[in-house]
Amino acid sequence: MPATNEMNKFSAACDNFSLTISTKKTEVMFQPAPRNLYHEPSISVKRQNLQAVETFTYLGSTLSRTATTNLEINNRIAKASSAFERLRSKVWERRGISIDTKLKVYRAVVLTILFYGSETWITYRRHEKTLNHFHLRCIRNLFHIRWQDSP
């Protein structure tokens, strides 16, 4: 198998520089080409098999073996929602802060978290609807507009 051969070469190169590959911390993930069957990878380092995973987080972005952005978008919404809620008592509900300042904080904090890494996403209409729904919910919350208030 080519992946195992490449891993053996990498392991040998690490040995040359007295580096150690932690087999407990190292995971592998295989993303098959579209419409191809998934085969769980079997890659080992010094006769120890590496754990195959469905998803993993790298630099704050969630990658999945299905190569879809559904999980990543849901994770970004969860993180942005958490940030929004943490700012509720400190910013959103403070009377001394102008709405203009609150919107600047919203753009700088919540939207930045929401769209982190989005330049690599392949988005479809359903993703745009989900993101827009979250955004509008936050804006309605900032302006204290309840759904019952809409015409």
Could you read off the pLDDT of 65-116 as tens digits, one per residue? Answer: 777 788 889 999 999 999 999 999 999 999 999 999 999 999 999 999 999 9
The whole-number average pLDDT for the span 34-52 is 83
Phi, then psi, of 42 in degrees rounded to 5: -125, 95
pLDDT at 23 over 70: yes
Contact 29, 54 (CB under 8 A): yes
Spatial separation of the C-alpha atoms in residues 140 and 149, rounded to whole Å:
10
pLDDT at 151 over 70: no
Mean pLDDT of the chain: 87
Q: Reduced to 3 states, what is the DSSP secondary structure of residue 39?
A: coil
Opening angle at CA 80, ends 76 and 86, nearest 5: 150
Q: What is the pLDDT of residue 53?
A: 86
Q: What is the pLDDT of residue 150?
A: 63
Among 140, 117, 116, 115, residue whose Cα is nearest residue 128: 115
Q: What is the pLDDT of residue 28?
A: 85
pLDDT at 1 over 60: no
- Both structure tokens of 66: 């299905």
Per-residue burial over 35-66, b = 16 or more CB atoms within 10 Å of its CB, e = otherwise? eeeeeebebebeeeebeeeeeeeeeebbbbbe
Interhelix angle for 125-142 vs 70-86, to 10°?
10
The whole-number average pLDDT for the span 16-26 is 88
